[in-house]
Structure 1
Amino acid sequence: MNTQEVADKLVQLCREGKHEQAIDELYADNVVSKEPKGSPMELTEGKDAVKKKTIQWEESVEEIHSSSCSEPIVADNHFAIVMNIDATYKAHGRMAMSEICVYEVKDGKIVADEFFYRMG
């Protein structure tokens, strides 16, 4: 798959709430995932670790009130999307969040992702 195809598939799976399937199908085994500096998961390396991080996030959510995922913006081997979520978390209560997600694609797989959002 080229970058546009990977981006389109990721958006489709995210909109369907199939985050683990997206990791299984689209992520490289050696993927590097970055969250904002100071976050608990600031750096995660490897597909299994990224999948575990995603499952931990899912388990922290009590209820999702709404979520959205923009169309991707593609440039060469990178793409970006905006994700919005309004959720009630077991430990923190209800929070709305908006983030920019940037992905790098190599040989048809996501090799890096980085998430930009406001902490606290």
Structure 2
Amino acid sequence: MLKKVSKIFFTSLPILLMIGLIPVIKNDYFLTVLYIFIIFGSLKISKSTKKDVIILVFGFVIMIIFEYIFISTGVETFTRNSLFGIMPLWLPFLWAYGFVAIKRSVEII
């Protein structure tokens, strides 16, 4: 049980790092580049599979669509709006890796 919890924790570390960088780095473009390095680094370190990459791309695309819907209906608002003038550029990257982390966590369980 403890082994599974620690694996899930380490799977979540890149997400915690990315969230922690949001208030520190105000430039959305620089933050996005850092996210890309974090994502590819964690995929490389953890020996990602083809399914991980598919989930990453799926999460990226689907979350752009859903975030756009949420924002256009007034459910969410962002002060940082570097992507399409409505949301932060880095947000779909964070969500995309979130999808990968969820997939990996379910596999661990």
TM-score by length of 1: 0.29
Q: Larger % of helix: which?
A: 2
Larger radius of gyration: 2
TM-score by length of 2: 0.31
Higher relative contact order (CA 8 A, sep 6+): 2
Q: Larger % of strand: which?
A: 1
